[in-house]
Amino acid sequence: MIGAAVMSEGSEGEEVFIDDEDIINEIPLDEEDLPDQDDDDEQDEDMMDEVEDHSAYAFHGHTDEVFAVACSPVDASLVVSGGKDDRGFLWRIGSAEDVQELPGHNDTVSTVAFSSDGKLVACGSTDGQINVWNTATRTLQGTLEGSESGFEWLKWDLRSHVIIAGSEDFNIWMWDADTDAFVNTFAGHSNTVTCGDFTPDGELICSGSDDATLRIWDRESAHCRHVVGGHGFHTQGLTCLAITWDSQSIVTGSQDSSVHIVSIKSGQVVGALVGHTNSVECIGISPRNNWVATGSIDQTLIIWDLTHQAIRSVCEHDDGVTCLAWIGSSRYVASGCIDGTVRVWDSLSGELARILSGHRDVVQSLAVSADCNSIVSVSSDKSARVFDISMFK
């Protein structure tokens, strides 16, 4: 550089100037030889490409984070997903052509679910609207309205086309999707209703809230039979719940790291599953036996024997656990992790059976196909991925 001041070694800070006559030789440099910011970006992309991809299929229809996924209970290749791009998609595993966008929302599609007969699929949004679609004709069956606040979750009755959904307006809403008719609201919580479901026998509804209470409702009258809260229960908001297959007990998880067992009949807390040290994000009860799996931000999945209220095994992860799914009635349970992996665990031994990688961001939700050959995971990386789990059936 002509006229540039440089420091010479041993000069104790004095400035030495280089003039034209000091130049011995000029070496021309091609701009391509110089380091470029784009090269750094490409290196970063190359590092991302190093994530090993075990998926058998990937769906890239979404343009933002994907939060929700469900598999049809009757069609093993049909999947619904919803995300931050305000869209739902109905798509088929292995087919880039058989894709149906489910439009009509103006905010995040936060929850999706198929009816138990697979004939209808519902997309719920933080815009306070649920759209119901016919899976055979791929047409809009109807729009379920009432709440002007966002929906956190929705569930179908196992024996009908009745839907319930938990809202940020502190209520649970119920509709008949066959007629688009509003049926009832279940009012009593004092904060967002974060989780809920029908009991498997269809008689009651259970709901958990950020108000740190569990409520048990009569389905027909919307009368609240039990309010569970206060001393001996959760001290912070409920995040998840699961109901035993005999409709006798509810297992609840909370931000406060605790897991409790509640009797549906009496509304009494009958046990605590002590083991987690951070927010419990997901709960799943095995269809095979009286075991329950819980996943937490504390980087563990714990498998419990519900009958004895005891830990069977602690499954360690490299980051927080966000979601889980039992693989049919097998002994295997899958977990989704903040590190972008899906892990399959043997619940009998507690051993890790498989790590399924491919995502580059948080796994938000998991769903198992009707034939249990595939597990579908959705992620903040904007993709849905399908992994072969046929060996774990």
pLDDT tens, residue by residue, 68-96:
999 999 999 999 999 999 999 999 999 99
Phi-psi region of 388 (alpha: psi -120 to 50; beta: other; left: phi over 0): beta
**What is the model's pLDDT at position 22?**
60
Q: For residue range 244-257, what is the model confidence (pLDDT) as tens digits?
A: 999 999 999 999 99
Residue closest to 121 by CA, chosen among 105, 140, 107, 134? 134
Are the C-beta atoms of residues 130 and 165 closer than 8 Å to each other?
Answer: yes
Q: Where are the alpha helices (DSSP H) in the chain?
A: 37-49
DSSP character at residue 13? T
State how far the Cα of 358 lies from the Cα of 311, in Å rounded to an integer: 31
Give every CB contact of residue 137 below 8 A, 6+ residues apart in sequence. Answer: none
Sign of CA dihedral 160, 166, 171, 177: negative
- Average pLDDT of the segment spanning 112-131: 98
C-alpha gyration radius of the chain: 26
Joined together, the tokens standing for residue 70 give: 């469900």
Terminal-residue alpha carbon distance, the chain: 70
Q: Which band of pLDDT confidence, cut at 50, 70 and 90, is reported for residue 11?
A: very low
**What is the model's pLDDT at position 259?**
98
Sign of CA dihedral 320, 80, 83, 387: positive
At residue 233, the 3 state secondary structure works out as: coil
